[in-house]
Amino acid sequence: MSLDTTKHAADTPGTEQPWAELGLKQDEYERIREILGRRPTGAELAMYSVMWSEHCSYKSSKVHLKQFGEKAPENDAMLVGIGENAGVVDVGQGYAVTFKVESHNHPSYVEPYQGAATGVGGIVRDILAMGARPVAVMDPLRFGAADHEDTKRVLPGVVSGIGGYGNCLGLPNIGGEVVFDPCYQGNPLVNALCVGVMKHEDIHLAKASGAGNKVILYGARTGGDGIGGVSVLASETFESTGPAKRPAVQVGDPFQEKLLIECTLEIFAEDLVAGIQDLGGAGLSCATSELASAGSGGMRVELDTVPLRDASLSPEEILMSESQERMCAIVEPDKVARFLEICEKWDVIATVIGEVTDGDRLEIYWHGEQIVDVPPRTVAHEGPVYHRPYARPDWQDALQADDAGKLPRPADAGELREQVLKLVASPNQASKSWVTDQYDRFVQGNTVLAQPEDSGMIRIDEETNLGVAVATDGNGRYAKLDPYTGAQLALAESYRNVAASGAKPLAVTDCLNFGSPEDPAVMWQFAEACRGLADACLELGTPVTGGNVSLYNQTGETAIHPTPVVGVLGVIDDVTRRTPMAFAEDGQLVYLLGETREELGGSAWSQVVHGHLGGLPPKVDLARERLLAEILIAGSRDGMIDAAHDLSDGGLIQAVTESCLKGGRGARLVVPEGLDPFVFLFSESAGRAIVAVPRSEELRFTDMCGARGLPATRVGVIDGDAVEVQGQFSIPLAELREAHEATIPALLA
C-alpha cells in the first residue's frame, strides 16, 4: 500500500476512511474535510480522532466548565490557572505549588494494574511539565459492591498498580478515598492526584515559540501500547459484555519515569527549555499540536526519527500511541548539545524530531513525504463544541420524596449499639489500612500527615517548616439526590478537611466523573454539579485551577452516580502546629462545633442499615464552612486544640470512633439536651467538626467561638478504653477496633 500523503489525499477525495471506527461522528469528519479543503490523510485522521475525542477536547463539557473561569473568585495566590498542564498557586516564601487530579477509569477496569499505574505516571508528568518537583500523590478510588467477585479482581490490581508505580518513584501517597457502591460495578473510578513544588521563577508552560528552535522528544521509546486509549477507552460507554480492549491500555515503567524526572529537573535547573509538554492522552498528536497551537508559529516534525520499540508501527500508530514516560521539549539551537548531554547522563533517549517554523501550520513528514499539514489550533483547541440537551430526569422527584426520615430507627439502646458496630464495620466506614499499608506514605521524610488523617500534609521547606495540605472528597450518593448540592458538599468537605489539619484552604482541582453525555439526565447532573461547584468556589474564595472530566462511565444503560471529586489545597506556615485527628490525652474535652439537624438523606446509616438511597442530602451553609475553617485554623495556630476531625460520612459516632482508635484513647459522650441520641450519633449535617480541647484552653477556645458566633457544644471527655454514650451504651475500643479493621481483609481474602 502506498503512503497516504497530503498530495495523495488531495488527488483521491473519494477514498473511504474509517472515521467512525476512530470515534468520529459524520459531521465531525465533514468538518475536518472543510478545514483542510480536502479529505484528511490517514495520519491527519488519526490526529483529529484522538484530539477531538471526549477525553481530549471536552466537547460535551466545555460549555459548562467555562463557569469556573467566569465565576472565579479574586485570588492573589493564583499564578497559573485553567488551560495549562496543571494549576499553580503561590504559597509564600518564594514557593509555588502545582497540583491536579485526573482520571484513569476505563483503563483500570480493563487492566487494573497497568491502568492505575499509568494513571499515576501521567499525572506526575503533568506536574513535572510545569517545572515542579513532584512531592506527593493521592488516589480517590471508587469500586463496585465490596462483596462482588469482580471487585476482588479490580481492587487488588488497582492498589498494586498505584503502590508499585508510586513507591518506585519514591513519592509518598498521603491520602485519597476508597468507596464501594454497586453503581461502580463495571466502571471503577481511579482518580490520581499529584502535588509538586517549585520556586516562582521555575514555572514552565506548554508552548512552542521561536522559529528555528528544535523539537526534542525524550524518554522511553514509542511502542504499540495505548493506541486509541483516549478515543477508544475513555470516550465511549462499555458494553455490558465487559472489557476486551487491552491493547488500548498503556504499560508503565516507573524506573524509566524516575530517570525522566531527575533528567528533566536538571534540564530546568540549567534553563534549557523554551516550552515543554508531557506525552499523555493522545501521545505525539497532543504534544505537537498543543505546543504549536499555544506558540507563535508553526512546527515541522520528521516522524520517522521517533525512536521505536516496534519497527512495524505505522505513522498513524506512532501519532496515536500513548506509550508512557515521554516528554517533548522546545529547545534553542545553541542549547541542544547540553540538553542531549544531560539526557545521556541520565540514560534517557533524546532525539531532535523537528523544529519550530515561522509559518502557521503543523507539518509532519515520513521519510521525506508530507503526511500531515494542518492548522494546529483546529486540532488542539478548536475542536467540536456540543450543547448537549439536558433535562431533570423524571425519576428525580420520586427519589427526593423517598425520605430517609421514614426508615425504622433503633428501638432501644441495645439496637443503637448494634447499629453503631454495623456502621463502623461497613466497607465504606471500615479501616482502609489494607490499602494504604501498600503505599509508602513517608518516603522522602517530609510527610507530616497521611491517611487516615483528614488531609495529607507535606513540609516543603525544612528550615521554615512551611507546608501544604491536600484533601480529596466526593459523595456520589449526595450528588445522585441533588447534583448541585452534592458538588458543593464535596467541596465543603475537602475544604473542612484541610482546615481541620490547621491549613488555610487556597485552591481547588476537580475530577468530574459522570455517565454518558448523550443521556439528557446525565448531562443535567453534570450541568448542575458544575453550577454548584462554581457557585461554591466563588463564595469560599477558592478558584478552580484545573482538573479533568471523565464521561461515559456507564455500562450499557446504567450510569454511575454523578461523582464530582474535589481536591482542595491549603497552606500552613508551620507544620509543627498542625492538628492531627487522634484523641491522645486523657482528660481533654470533646467539643462539637456546628449545628446538628435531622439530616439522613444519602447517609451512611441509611445505606448500611437499610440499603436505602432517597430524600435530600444535608444542607450547605458556605458562610458557616468559612467560619468553621477560621476557628479550626486559629485553634491550631494558637495551641487551643490538640485534635480535630471533620464530621461527614457516618456522622459523629464515626468521627469519634476514628479519633479514639487512632489515639488509643476512649471517650465518654453526653447527648446534648433536646437532641435525639440517634440523630446525635448518625446525622450527617455539614459544617461540623469535633475537637479535643485541653482543659487549660477551654475558656479561651469557647470565648473565641462565642465571639465569632460558631456553636460549640461540650459533648464529652477523652477517658478510658471504651466509647461510651451515657445513658445508652458502651463499646470497648478492642471491640470497635476488631469491627473496624477486619472488614476489608476479609472481603478480599
Which residues participate in catalysis according to the annotation? 55, 104
Nearest one of 517, 477, 513 to 493, comparing CA atoms: 477
DSSP-derived pairing of the beta strands 173-180 and 189-199: unpaired
The C-alpha angle with vertex 536 and arms to 530 and 542, in degrees rounded to 5, equals 105
In the block, cell 532525539 appears at: 351
CA dist list (Å): 714 to 22, 85, 501: 62, 46, 20
Residue 622 and residue 540 in contact, taking contact as beta carbons nearer than 8 Å: yes
> Rounded distance, CA 234 to CA 61, Å?
14
Nearest one of 41, 82, 53, 74 to 546, comparing CA atoms: 82
> Rounded distance, CA 335 to CA 77, Å?
33
Residue 489 and residue 617 in contact, taking contact as beta carbons nearer than 8 Å: yes
Helices 698-708/622-637 angle, 10° precision: 150
DSSP state of 82: B
Helical residues (DSSP H) of 541-649, grouped into ranges: 604-610, 622-637
> Rounded distance, CA 100 to CA 547, Å?
6
Task: Tell me the three state secondary structure of residue 431.
Answer: coil
> Rounded distance, CA 159 to CA 271, Å?
37
In the block, cell 489539619 appears at: 501
C-alpha cell at 45: 485522521
Q: Which residues contact 188 (CB under 8 A, 6 or more apart)?
A: 105, 108, 109, 141, 142, 143, 144, 154, 155, 158
Largest distance between two CA atoms of the chain? 88
Nearest one of 672, 498, 707, 506 to 595, comparing CA atoms: 672
In the block, cell 456522622 appears at: 651
First to last CA, the chain: 54
> Rounded distance, CA 291 to CA 298, Å?
9
- Exposed, middle or buried: residue 438 (CB in 10 Å: 0-12, 13-18, 19+)? middle
The Cβ of residue 310 has, within 10 Å, a number of other Cβ atoms equal to 14
Nearest one of 495, 504, 559, 498 to 533, comparing CA atoms: 495
CA 482 from centroid of its chain's CA atoms? 21
> Rounded distance, CA 468 to CA 498, Å?
9
Order of strands across the sheet with 589-593? 643-646, 689-693, 589-593, 712-718, 667-669, 722-725, 729-732
Q: What share of the chain is helix, strand, coil (3-state, %, to 5)?
A: 40, 25, 35
The Cβ of residue 442 has, within 10 Å, a number of other Cβ atoms equal to 13
Which residue spans within 620-680 are E strands per DSSP?
643-646, 667-669
> Rounded distance, CA 184 to CA 203, Å?
38
Peptide bond into 247 cis (omega under 30): no
